[in-house]
Amino acid sequence: MPNTGKGVLVLYTGGTVGMRQGPQGLVPASVDEVFGQLPASLLSGQNAPTWRSLENPLDSSDLQPEHWQQMAGILAESYEHFEGFVVLHGTDTMAYTASALSFMLQGLSKPVVLTGSQLPLGHRRTDAVHHLNSALEFAMAQKDNGEPRLQEVCLYFHNKVYRGNRCRKNQASGFDAFESPNYPALATAGTALRFDEQAMDQGLPTSSLRSLSYRPALDSSIASLRMFPGLNPALVYGLTEQTGVRVLLLEGYGTGNIPPTPALVEALRAFVIKGGRVVALSQCVGGFVDLERYRSGRQLLDLGAIPGRDITFEAALTKSMHLLANPSSASGDPDHDFAERFGQSLVGEISLGSENDPNDA
C-alpha cells in the first residue's frame, strides 16, 4: 500500500541530544531551545519535518511506562497524517522505549525511528545533527511503488538502523553506543542508504496484512534477578512475596543456567505455584537460552520457567508488561497463554530457531 500521510513527524522526548548544562549537570532543554540550535534545513523548507514534544522533556533515565504510553498515543493519533516518524530520545533507555513501542504499535506499515546522541546539539563535535538527518532520511525512504522501506519500530545510531526490540546500549560514552547482538542491522547509512530486505521482513506479518493495532496497556508487575555466586535464595521471596510481582526475569549464566541450590529452586517453585511466571534469560549478550542442555538449566524447565531464547532483557521486560496487560481471550488459561505467547515472535523480537544464530560459528 503506498504511503498515505505526508512528511515526517519528529517527537522530541528529551535526552542528551537536546540537553544544556545546568548547575548540577546536563538537563533536558525545551523544544524551543532545541530549535535554536538546529540547522535551518530542519526547521523550514520542502522536507522540513513537523515537530511535537512531550510536555516535559526528560532525561531518559527518568522515563516510566506512562511516558511510553504518552509517546505511543501521540504516534497512534498522528499515524495517518505522516509518512514516517522520528522519536528524539535519550540513549540510556532508548532500547527499552523502542521495545515497548514495538509491542504497543503492532502491525506498523510505516517507520518509527528512534534516535538520539552522545553529545548535545550545541556541542561542536555533536553526533546529533547527523543522527537526526539520517533518521529523517530513513523515515522518508520509499520503495519504487511508494511503500515505506522500513515498516517497524527501529533505532538509528552511528550509521546503522536496528530492529528496535533487538538492541541494547553497550557503550556509556563511545559514539557507537548500540548493538543488536542476535539480529542483523536492517539498514546502513554510508554514502548511500542500504537495506537488508531479508532482515526487514523476517518476524513481521506479510506487508499486505499490516495495519496498525494500538495496544497501550502495560502492567509493570515485573521483577528481575541476576544470578551471582553467593546469591541469597531468600532474595527471591523478598522480590516476589507481597510485592504484587507477576513475572520474574531471571538472568542466569550462559545458556540460562542457575546453581542447583535446593533453597533457590524451592523459592522459584513457590513463586510459580502461586501463579508467578519465571522467564529464563542469560547474562550473555549473544546466543540462545537453552534449558535442556545442562542439568542446571533443566531444573528451571522442570519448575515451569519459560525459556527467553535470544530475546534482549529490554524486550523481555516490555513484552512481559504487554502480555500481562493484554491477555488473549483464546485459551481460558492465563498461565499457558503467557508462556505460549512469550515464545512466539509478536514483532520480530525473538528468534524461533537457533539455526540463524549469527554467534554460533
Task: Indicate which residues carry an active-site annotation.
Answer: 16
φ, ψ of residue 235 in degrees (nearest 5): -60, -35
Residue numbers 142-201 binding ligand ASP by CB under 6 A: none
CB of 28 to ligand ASP, least distance (A): 7
| Residue 72 backbone class (left: φ over 0; alpha: ψ -120 to 50; beta: rest) | alpha
* Residue closest to ligand ASP, measured at CB: 90
Indicate the pairing of strand 25-28 with strand 247-252.
unpaired
CB of 198 to ligand ASP, least distance (A): 31
Print the binding letters for residues 12-51 with ligand ASP: x by CB under 6 A, - otherwise: --xxx-----------------------------------
Q: How far apart are CA 88 and CA 82, in angstroms?
A: 16
CB of 254 to ligand ASP, least distance (A): 30
**Using the rule CB under 6 A, is 118 a contact of ligand ASP?**
yes
φ, ψ of residue 255 in degrees (nearest 5): -80, 15
**Using the rule CB under 6 A, is 256 a contact of ligand ASP?**
no
Closer to ligand ASP by Cβ: residue 123 or 293: 123
**Residue at 258: amino acid letter:** I
Q: How far apart are CA 31 and CA 17, in angstroms?
A: 11
**Using the rule CB under 6 A, is 276 a contact of ligand ASP?**
no
**Using the rule CB under 6 A, is 314 a contact of ligand ASP?**
no
Q: How far apart are CA 84 and CA 141, in angstroms?
A: 9
Give the residue, chosen from 37, 53, 60, 351, that forms a contact with ligand ASP under the rule CB under 6 A.
60
- With CA atoms as reference, report the closest residue to 154 among 218, 84, 205: 84
Closer to ligand ASP by Cβ: residue 57 or 276: 57
Q: How far apart are CA 137 and CA 39, in angstroms?
A: 15
Give the residue, chosen from 91, 151, 240, 255, that forms a contact with ligand ASP under the rule CB under 6 A.
91
Say which residue the cell 531464547 belongs to. Answer: 309
Q: Which positions lie near ligand ASP, rule CB under 6 A?
A: 14-16, 59-61, 90-92, 116, 118
